């Protein structure tokens, strides 16, 4: 048995053999699913039957990834014509739509958008649907390199009119986050402008805070610091969030939001001691921030005079110790 190189712990053949086994298992599932169908069904009818069942949908997804040849995948995409809306509403079939978007060039699947429009679906309707938002996410990930398909998708989404509504919707927020991550500069700027004009409202909204977090993570550094600095200027934003009893259900999200804001505005924070006054000394957020920042400068004691705010920072629990790392004082 040890003579078989594939069984050696560090053998380069192990990943290849694992991939081959995965393909074999996928092929077996597809064969089993197709064998259970009536013999007189054609390809389109068989595919439409399969993607509406849990086992059939999984088998088709695996076949698209591992088994089917490219021409078979295109034939499967053609079988979805006239079925896009019903597939979007199906808890199993929508996964097949996503797999086709990933596997095929955008030009082969951009008819998905036209079918939704013909059925009366708007971009906002689709983005706010629990399955539709996932299909749009895959499109945003894979359409950005094809100009015509991307423009059709952006026309469908109409971010100018829908960004405010989607930012505050439990499913629509995922589409906005994907626009920030995968969209072109024009669409990103639409989101950035909305966030800049509605900072406090988004930060205090349980869903909007997720969009703000994505912007604070992926936006250009100058914009991140500007947005965060606007939020933490005098500490009133943080104090208001911590004291707002209506947000009690989102307490953990709020603490994460404040942590993210402070992290993005770290240099500005050194000049704003009111931030630490806004967080009660017994509040769990102090421990969260202290633990997060402690590793950044624990081995580099702060020089109060170098930081220029010795009286303020030296007597704070978070102190100047972790923050000096942000100024490059190590």
- What percentage of the chain carries pLDDT values higher than 90? 35
DSSP letter string, 281-328? TTSHHHHHHHHHHHHHHTTS---HHHHT-HHHHTTSSS-STTGGGGGT
Q: Which residue ranges make up each domain of the chain?
A: 198-297
| Least confident residue range of 168-177, 199-208, 229-238, 239-248 | 239-248
At a CB cut-off of 8 Å and minimum separation 6, what does 136 contact?
123, 126, 127, 153, 157, 175, 178
Q: Per the structure block, which two tokens stand in for 162?
A: 């829908």
**Per-residue confidence (pLDDT) for residue 210, from 0 to 100:** 86
Cβ(278)–Cβ(231) under 8 Å? Answer: no
CA–CA separation, 195 and 211 (whole Å): 8
Q: Among residues 98, 185, 93, which one has the least CA distance to residue 133?
A: 98
Kindly state the average pLDDT of the residues 100-125.
94
Arithmetic mean of pLDDT over the chain: 75
What is the tens place of the pLDDT at every residue in 51-107? 998 888 888 888 888 777 788 888 889 899 999 999 999 999 999 999 999 999 999
Nearest to residue 141, comparing CAs of 182, 109, 100?
A: 182
Q: What pTM value is reported for the model?
A: 0.72
């Amino acid at each position: 048995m040890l003579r078989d190189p594939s069984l050696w712990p560090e053998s380069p053949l192990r990943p290849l053999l694992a991939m081959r086994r995965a393909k074999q298992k996928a092929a077996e599932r597809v064969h089993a699913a197709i064998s259970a169908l009536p013999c007189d069904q054609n390809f389109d009818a068989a595919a439409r039957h399969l993607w509406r069942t849990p086992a059939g949908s999984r088998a088709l997804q695996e076949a698209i990834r591992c088994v089917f040849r490219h021409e078979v995948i295109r034939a499967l995409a053609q079988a979805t014509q006239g079925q896009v809306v019903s597939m979007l509403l199906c808890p199993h079939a929508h996964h097949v739509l996503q797999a086709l978007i990933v596997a095929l060039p955008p030009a082969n699947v951009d008819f998905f958008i036209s079918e939704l429009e013909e059925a009366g679906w708007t971009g906002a309707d689709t983005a706010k649907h629990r399955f539709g938002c996932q299909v749009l996410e895959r499109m945003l990930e894979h359409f950005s390199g094809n100009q015509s398909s991307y423009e059709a998708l952006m026309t469908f989404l109409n971010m100018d009119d829908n960004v405010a509504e989607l930012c505050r919707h439990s499913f629509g927020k995922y589409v906005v986050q994907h626009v920030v991550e995968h969209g072109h500069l024009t669409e990103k700027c639409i989101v950035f402008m909305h966030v800049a004009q509605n900072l406090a409202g988004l930060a205090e909204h349980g869903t909007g805070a997720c969009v703000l977090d994505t912007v604070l993570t992926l936006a250009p550094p100058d914009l991140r610091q500007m947005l965060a600095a606007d939020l933490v200027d005098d500490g009133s934003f943080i104090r208001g969030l911590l004291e707002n009893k209506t947000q009690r259900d989102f307490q953990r999200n709020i603490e994460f939001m404040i942590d993210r804001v402070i992290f993005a505005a770290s240099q500005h924070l050194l000049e704003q001691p009111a931030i630490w006054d806004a967080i009660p000394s017994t509040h769990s957020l102090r421990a969260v921030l202290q633990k997060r920042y402690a590793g950044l400068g624990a081995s580099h004691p702060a020089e109060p005079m170098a930081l220029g705010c010795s009286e303020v920072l030296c007597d704070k629990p978070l102190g100047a110790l972790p923050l000096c790392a942000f100024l490059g004082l190590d």
